[in-house]
Structure 1
Amino acid sequence: MISARNFLHVSRRVALAAAGCFFAATLAVAQSDALPSWNNTAPKQAIISFVEKVTKPGSGDFVPEAERIAVFDNDGTLWVEHPIYTQLAFALDRVKALAPQHPEWRETQPFKAVLEGDMKALVASGEKGLVELIMTTHAGMTSSDFQKIVIDWFASARDPKFKRPYTELVYQPMIELLAYLRANGFKTFIVSGGGVEMMRPWAEKVYGIPPEQVVGSSIKTEFRMQDDTPTLFRLPEVNFIDDKAGKPVGINQHIGRRPIAAFGNSDGDLQMLQWTTMAGGPARLGVLIHHTDAEREYAYDRDTEIGRLDKALDAASIAGWTVVDMKADWKQVFKD
């Protein structure tokens, strides 16, 4: 007959063992879900299925690790792009900071529009006006000086809606996705219409993507000796626009391999997804992030000047691309 003392001792051991099993099972479930901020809907399943196919040795879709290239647009795909692109917000702040040195700007467009807060007039200046703003505020200095200006601006600037640093307004589900792909042997690249030297100073800290894996638009740069110091000087001339049809060109020039997975959110990413997925061969993945969540972020697609998703959305159903409904497919948008 078991004593009361022994009974309590055995019961305690059983309880501890049961608790240990429960904890281990819970931990295993948690570890098995590499995308916890994604709802268990079709897009998450499509991504996981794709990764499993291309990483399984012996599979007809197996892709060697060296060829597992995934490319990501930045604005609207990895972080917020509304109400205006972050780089444009930076340029507007630079105009205001430099204005005391340029009194003529008060009567010269598009600078006059910026200083008066006249966004209608700024938009009316068109692409030419916006390029002039970028060239004026991003050039005429060394690359090192520009990098410092960028870092200082990101340290102090705040998004007008969320009142948070821009580098905190990255999408948590996409951060998880980047980590998941890298854990499965993928090399992840940013391929953005944004300025390459605007992104490189912070991309590794925020996304885990090193500077050499950032592809973007650029202005012309030349080597100069200044006070016996070798420098790279930024000129007010466009070198390369990494947007729309420019994205496949940028990928070819900078990466040298055709990606097997591409992620975007707008018509500016259409050609990148076409280049990635319409090549034949092993399994390929094209994904569009559809902004449908006006409460947690923004809702927009065809009727916007910023991040328009129109032609690419129509192409998705024909090409078989995965469309992520932000409201339905993401448990959360930003990291808490």
Structure 2
Amino acid sequence: MIKPLSVRQFHGFLLTLALSLPLLVQAAEPLPSWNDGPSKKSIIEFVQAVTDQGSKDFVRPEERIAVFDNDGTLWSEQPLYFEFLFALEEVKRTAAQHPEWKTTQPFKAVLEDDHQALAATGMEGLMKIFAATHSGMTTEAFDDYAKTWLSQARHPKTGKPYTEMIFQPMLEILDYLRSQDFKTYIVSGGETGFMRAFAEKVYGVPPEQVIGTTFVTTFDYKDGKASILRTPQLAHNDDGPGKPVSIEAVIGRRPILAFGNSDGDLQMLQWTAAGTGKRFMGLVHHTDAKREWAYDRQSQVGRLDKALDEANKRGWTVVDMAAEWRRIYPFDATTGQVQ
């Protein structure tokens, strides 16, 4: 017959359990959705080196800054950037308020689903669409519009909400880094307000750690109510060389780890690599046509060309999605190569 524990014994058991929990967490294998391979090995070895106080590569917790691109790095970006799809839907939603759009490009092309005419408007047309759909309202109103769309819209290929088209292996990196006292930031060409609508809930990245393209805003105070108004004037394009500029302006520390997936992330990776001490630069290479998409040098969305050459030249980590990820999305079964 098993004797019941005394109060003292029970308290002792709880104390032992509490003391052992950190060891159990530490013993758990990090990055379970990654196959054992060069990328997983390099990530873990880097984190261990910079967090071991006895290592020559030790980095103080306050300097453990990690930056991540969003589109194509933390979630998918095909067939079009998800925020662009949001903007197109916003044009259609608000078209009744703008009868002139029926005869004015690029809005006419959007309303008629004329993709060829839309493409012909180029970057100028794109900026007109973003200005029209991302401004002329308060920050709170835009946040509501973005959250409503994200809760209702579905990806054309998978039928899943866009906020489920996130990469499980990258979520694990974010969690792993934070468990080791890293501070994780999103540094993306996406618009800051749009990403803040979901980043904390989906990635665990709070709004103050989301850096993106921004529009000029103004303060308004009427009838005792204060608000921030979004104007159509572009304040900062957070792509390419704009990324290290915003990192310096907002964070004020050079990252020791940076992850991207395209040429738009090259300068962010170069800026990270240029610092002293041990550094980690990584690229997600979309090589899995079966479970996601396969694209790089010739893609019109998320082109990876110059950054890939630089990574190969400098010995940066290039993640082969097809070979190194056991699963792509959280809703996936573990179908990748298991080693």
Q: Output the TM-score relative to the length of structure 1.
A: 0.90
Equivalent of residue 29 in structure 2, options 21, 33, 40? 33
- The question of 1:248 aligning with 2:244 is answered yes
Equivalent of residue 281 in structure 2, options 286, 291, 303? 286
The equivalent residue for 1:324 is 319
Separation of aligned partners in 1, 2:26 and 2:78: 33
Separation of aligned partners in 1, 2:221 and 2:53: 52
CA deviation vs aligned residue, 1:151-204 (integer Å, no higher than 9, x gap): 111110111111111101100000001000000110000000000000112111
- TM-superposed deviation, 1:320: 1.3
Residues 222 and 233 of structure 1 are in contact (CA less than 8 Å); yes or no, is this contact kept in structure 2?
Answer: yes
Question: Runs of 4 or more off by more than 3 Å in structure 1?
Answer: 27-31
* 1:186-225 alignment runs, 5 A limit: 186-225=182-221
- The question of 1:305 aligning with 2:300 is answered yes
Larger Rg over CA atoms:
1
- TM-superposed deviation, 1:29: 10
Separation of aligned partners in 2, 1:77 and 1:94: 25
The equivalent residue for 1:18 is none
Residues 189 and 213 of structure 1 are in contact (CA less than 8 Å); yes or no, is this contact kept in structure 2?
Answer: yes
- TM-superposed deviation, 1:33: 1.1
- The question of 1:275 aligning with 2:271 is answered yes
Separation of aligned partners in 1, 2:263 and 2:85: 21
- TM-superposed deviation, 1:138: 0.8
The equivalent residue for 1:82 is 78
The equivalent residue for 1:156 is 152
CA deviation vs aligned residue, 1:256-311 (integer Å, no higher than 9, x gap): 100000000000000000000122x2110000000011111111001111100000
CA deviation vs aligned residue, 1:217-245 (integer Å, no higher than 9, x gap): 00010001133201101111101111000
**For 2:198, what is the secondary structure of its paired residue?**
helix
Q: CA-atom RMSD, angstroms? A: 1.5
Equivalent of residue 181 in structure 2, options 178, 185, 197? 185
Matching residue's letter, 1:90: F
| Structure 1 unmatched ranges of 5 or more | 1-26
- The question of 1:60 aligning with 2:52 is answered no
Residues 224 and 231 of structure 1 are in contact (CA less than 8 Å); yes or no, is this contact kept in structure 2?
Answer: yes
**For 1:289, what is the secondary structure of its paired residue?**
strand
| Identity within the alignment, % | 55
Q: Output the TM-score relative to the length of structure 2.
A: 0.89
Distance verdict in 2 for CA 1:39–1:30, change over 3 Å:
farther
Q: How many residues align?
A: 310
| Structure 2 unmatched ranges of 5 or more | 1-22, 332-339
Separation of aligned partners in 1, 2:222 and 2:230: 13
- TM-superposed deviation, 1:31: 4.7
